[in-house]
Chains A and B, each alone.
Chain A
Amino acid sequence: MDSQTTIPATSGAFAEGVQLPKTVSVTGLNHYFGEGELRKQALYSNNLDVRRGEIVIMTGPSGSGKTTLLTLIGTLRGVQEGSLKVLGNELLGSDRDLIVRLRRQLGFIFQAHNLFESLTAFQNVNMAAELAGLDPGIAAGRIKSLLTRLGLSERIHYKPNSLSGGQKQRVAIARGLVHKPRLILADEPTAALDEHSGREVVTLFQELARDEGCTIIMVTHDNRILDVADRIVNMVDGHIKSDVAVQETSVICEFLKGFPLFADLTPNTLAEVADQMMVHKADQGQEVIRQGDAGDLFYLIRSGSVDVTVDDGKTRNKVAELKQGQFFGEAALITDEPRNATVTAREKTVFYGLGKDDFRKVLETSATFEQELRQALFNRQ
């Protein structure tokens, strides 16, 4: 049999290609506020890996713990329980020197701009450049080009008093980026910005992620910028409810759409299906399912290929060869009969598996397609 993992399909952990190093690695993280009887748990065994160059958007209702998680990752709060590694450094029980050193490699963008009223836009940004020990000449050039990029070329030497709210926010963004941080933590960075400058900011984020390998984690409710996210992490009541790789999820949904029984599902439902799938792996020659066994999983081939063989009692005949994006295993689930064929991995193969119960539930949902459509139209307002 294949080896099942506990990794959800949508986590993107088994996407093809080189795996980049983890910028942030959260394992079993708990956090509490208050003391004694008033002690209240804010985070419940959170697990999260963010890799170099990823843009992660965290969502969730207020009080869900996303801000707490962000401050913990940003070294602004002490880790109480569990493990939290940022840029390869364990934060649990870390000393102050490490924290100060680490903070200089981070870029913070807060919801409030927090600019010094006494300093010009240039000087405010320069406070970050100085700390990074940049050569003043180089720093000046970079500050100017950043501020120009953010549409503030005319106001480089203005004090915050003579800037609008959006302009101040852009200065604060420049301050968070000028020292080329390896990890940017942003809280509603675009909330105070109009559509155009908000777009400019996220484009800048994307460039930094692509060209500099900068990792970006932001909390936002601004759905205009959701498209830049590589992953979307949803938190509810201190739990990470879902952590999906957008690209991978869309790949899975595309694949699922190709499955006739799922063709009528809305993207919403498809994404939910994708969420329920788990990663399975098989080595070359390994049997994934065996003819005659009871069927319990529906398989989608993520990478690699398999042979399908049927044993008619005397000989074993190869009936098909399946490749990436194709499925098998559905018949046994629909008819409740044993597997009617054996599937063997031709090479190292990764599958996404959906459990029997979940699979059936999806089929039922499929029937209520029209109802769901009505619901969606009603919710649109």
Chain B
Amino acid sequence: MKRTTKTPLAWKNLTHDWRRLAVAIAGIGFAVLLMFTQVGFQNALFDSQVKIITDLKGDIFIVSKAKYTLAAEKRFSISRIHQARSCSGVRGAYPVYSELTTSVLRKIDAGRGNRGYPLRALGFHLGDPVFRSEVIDQQKDRLRSPGTALIDVKSKARKFEFDMQKPDELSQYGVELAGKKLTLVGTFDLGTDFAHDGNLVMSAESFAKYFPHRKRMGDPLSVVDLGVVHLLPGFSAAEVKQRLEDTLDKDVVVHTREEFRAAEIKFWDKSTPIGTIFLAGKIIGFVVGMVICYQVIYSDIADHMPEFATLKAMGYPTGYFIRLIMAESLLLSLIGFLPGTVVSRALYAWLAGKTGLHMLMSLECIVFVLIATIAMCIASGMLAVRKLLSADPATLF
């Protein structure tokens, strides 16, 4: 028989002693904060790895089959781009060129060369709509003169000592790229990541001039790092992707925007220690939370052993006690989660301001931490419930 007006024992026991409740909330909130920090940092770092994808304008991307990450310098033939253009549903397909290891930028002060540092040089045909950034669009004319480039304002200041705040004065710096003179004509905003300490954007013609050896014999622009495909209205990415896969030679891989992002994040997550480090961080948060939660529930049980034993004597079955502690754990996780989330949000804002990382509290991230918190509390509740089940009503008389 179901009754609706059951005495809410779990809630009453939890909220009876406000001091204990405050400690519990603080403890679980702290665990929530720990997990949020880990998830936040991880997402921020992964976000910065795929920032370039976010900044590219396009629906479908083509990369060499051998390119396991954006930073891997594996290229494919320009003819794949031409083939892509002929596919139905494709409005345009554009090559993006990228160079890292040979792209060493060096500042020359008063005729003396400083040490040079590699950064990512991106080349594109100025007429191709490959960047979302309006800042790049507006400065296209400046890039028309050969030997010019825009520099990323977020390039690491320690290695690339330019005064980014005054873009018009950048041209006065003496700069060499890959041993040839370069004029910086402005800035744009992309951001750094694990592989890239800075970025340059230039026209494909300039790019060919600086990196003539990309292809041993022939046109350096005949090998492409990244193909950006735009769709005609009314075509779905999945459908066109399928068509491209059928049309193009098998030395390239075709990704939709989401797949491309996911594949890149997967590389950093699974193939580098980053994922493991953050996983460890999350586990530590989880375990800390579990210990605190166990402590709270266990001491609550331990303080009420005679009462629980009395309930047993009255004929409350084992299932009731398990449900009771489950409910208590669930309540505990929820009332600990709320303040934990609020504090984490504040911490995110502060960290974002401090580090320039993209600390975003996405719904996904909130759901993940919520589920982890509930799992943590219920797991520790189930560990603690054994104590309750050992309550012996025979000791009451």
Residues of A within 8 A of B (CB): 67, 70-71, 74, 76-77, 100-104, 106, 108, 110-112, 114-119, 123, 126-128, 130-131, 133, 136, 185, 187, 219
Contact = CB atoms under 8 A, between A and B. Distances in A.
B396 A76 contact: yes
Contacts of A128: 314
A103 B1 contact: no
B9 interface: yes
The 10 closest A-B pairs by CB, nearest first: A118-B16, A103-B315, A104-B315, A118-B12, A114-B310, A76-B394, A76-B393, A114-B306, A77-B394, A110-B396
Interface residues on B, range: 20 to 34
B16 A117 contact: yes
B249 to A, nearest CB: 71
Contacts of B310: 108, 110, 114
B396 A116 contact: no
B12 A131 contact: no
B394 A116 contact: no
B7 A123 contact: yes
Given A126-B7, A136-B5, A74 B313 contact: yes
B314 A103 contact: yes
Given A71-B397, A117-B16, A187-B396, 18 more contacts: A71-B393, A74-B393, A76-B313, A76-B392, A106-B315, A108-B313, A110-B310, A111-B397, A112-B306, A112-B396, A114-B306, A118-B16, A119-B9, A127-B9, A130-B7, A131-B314, A133-B3, A187-B397
A119 B315 contact: no
11 contacts: A76-B393, A76-B396, A108-B310, A110-B310, A114-B396, A115-B307, A118-B9, A119-B9, A127-B9, A127-B314, A130-B6
B394 A71 contact: yes
A126 B16 CA distance: 18
Contact of B313 (A101, A103, A118): A103
A136 B315 contact: no
A130 B3 contact: yes
Interface of B: 1, 3, 5-7, 9, 12-13, 15-16, 304, 306-307, 309-311, 313-317, 392-394, 396-397
Contacts of B394: 71, 76-77
A284 B299 CA distance: 71
A133 B309 CA distance: 20
A135 B197 CA distance: 73
Contacts of A101: 315
A116 B13 contact: yes
Contacts of B316: 131
Nearest to A116: B307
Contact of B13 (A102, A104, A118, A136): A118
B307 A76 contact: no
Q: Quick one: which of B12, B13, B314 has the most chain A CB within 10 A? A: B314
Contact of A116 (B5, B9, B314): B9
Contacts of B3: 130, 133, 136
Contact of B12 (A67, A116, A219): A116
Nearest to A72: B394
A130 B320 CA distance: 12
Nearest to A185: B397
Nearest to A110: B396
A302 B392 CA distance: 47
Contacts of A74: 313, 393, 397
Contacts of A103: 313-315
A106 B316 CA distance: 12
Contacts of B15: 118
Contact of B1 (A117, A133, A219): A133
A108 B310 CA distance: 8
Contacts of A114: 306-307, 309-310, 396
